Structure 1
Amino acid sequence: MTTHTRTTGNARAWIMLLLAGAFEIGYALSVGGSQAFTVPSWSIAAIIFFLLTLYFLSAALKTIDVGIGYAVWAGIGAVGAATFGSLLLDQPLTLGQIGWLAVIIGGVVWLKLADSPRFADKQAAAG
C-alpha cells in the first residue's frame, strides 16, 4: 500500500468518525427530547441518529484503532451534547464544565495529531 493510499484511507476514516460524532450529538439530544421514548417524533429521530452513528463509527473503525476512535467519538459526542444542550435546550453550563470540555477537545485534537502519518513517521524514525 502506498503512502498516498494509506493517507487517503486514513483521511476518509477520520471524516467518517467526525460524521459519527455529529450523529452521536443528534442522538444524545434526541434521546433527551424523547422524554424516555414517550414523544414519538423525538423517539424516531433518536433511533435514526443511533443507527447512523453506529454505521459511521463502525466504518471508521475499519481503519482507526478502536481505542482511539472510540475516545474521539465519545469526546465529540460529550462536548457537542453539552454545547448544543446548553444552546438549544437551555441546560446550564458552568465555567468549570466549560473548562473540562476544553480539556476533552484538546485530548481529541492530540489523538488526531498522534494518528497522523507525519507523526507516525517521526516516531518510527526516533524509535
Structure 2
Amino acid sequence: MTTTDQNTPHKGRAWLMLLLASAFEIGYALSVGGSQAFSVLGWSIAAIIFFLLTLYFLSVALKSIDVGIGYAVWAGIGAVGAAGFGSVLLDQPLTLSQAIWLAVIIGGVVWLKLADSPKLNTDESLAS
C-alpha cells in the first residue's frame, strides 16, 4: 500500500471537514449581514456561533490539506454560497454577470479538488 493509498481516507475526511467549514462560513456571512452591524441579538449570536464553527472545521481540514488550497476552496464556496443564499434569503440582487463569475469560482474550486486527488497525484509522480 502506498502512502497515497493510506492518506486517502484521511484526505476524504479532511475534505468533508472543509465542506462543513464552508457551509458554516456561508451561515456566518449571512448572519453577519442579518445582524445589522451586530445590533440584532439573534443574528449576532448566530454569527458568533457560525464563526467559531467555521474556524474549528477549517483548522481540522488544514491539518491534511495544504493551506493555500484549503483556504481558496473554503473562501470560494463561502463567497458563492453567501451570494446565492443572500439573493434568495435576504432578497439581495444577483445579476447574470455576477452569477457567471460565481460559476467561474465554483469551477476553480472543483478543479482545485480534482488537482488534490490521489489518482492525479500518482500519475504526476510517475511522470517525474
**TM-score using structure 2 length:** 0.97
Q: Which digits, 9 at most, give the CA deviation of each residue in 1:18-66, with x for residues without a partner?
A: 0000000000000000000000000000000000000000000000000
Cα distance, 1:2 vs structure 2: 4.4
1:72 maps to a residue whose letter is: V
1:116 maps to a residue whose letter is: S
Aligned to 2:12: 11
- 1:62-77 residue pairs with structure 2 within 5 A? 62-77=63-78
- 1:29-40 residue pairs with structure 2 within 5 A? 29-40=30-41
User: Which contiguous aligned blocks of 4+ residues in structure 1 show a shift greater than 6 angstroms?
Assistant: none
- 1:1-127 residue pairs with structure 2 within 5 A? 2-127=3-128
2:25 maps to a residue whose letter is: E
CA contact 2:11–2:65 (8 Å) conserved in 1: yes
2:10 maps to a residue whose letter is: G
CA contact 2:86–2:92 (8 Å) conserved in 1: yes
CA distance in structure 2 between the aligned counterparts of 1:88 and 1:3, rounded to whole angstroms: 42
Unaligned runs of 5+ in 1: none
Query: Cα–Cα, structure 1 residues 76 and 51, in superposed 2: closer, same or farther, change >3 Å?
Result: same
CA distance in structure 2 between the aligned counterparts of 1:122 and 1:114, rounded to whole angstroms: 11
Q: Which digits, 9 at most, give the CA deviation of each residue in 1:52-92, with x for residues without a partner?
A: 00000000000000000000000010000000000111101
Cα distance, 1:125 vs structure 2: 1.0
CA distance in structure 1 between the aligned counterparts of 2:65 and 2:75, rounded to whole angstroms: 14
Identity score, percent: 77
The alignment covers a number of residue pairs equal to 127
Unaligned runs of 5+ in 2: none
SS in 1 for 2:44: helix
1:61 maps to a residue whose letter is: L
CA distance in structure 2 between the aligned counterparts of 1:92 and 1:50, rounded to whole angstroms: 24
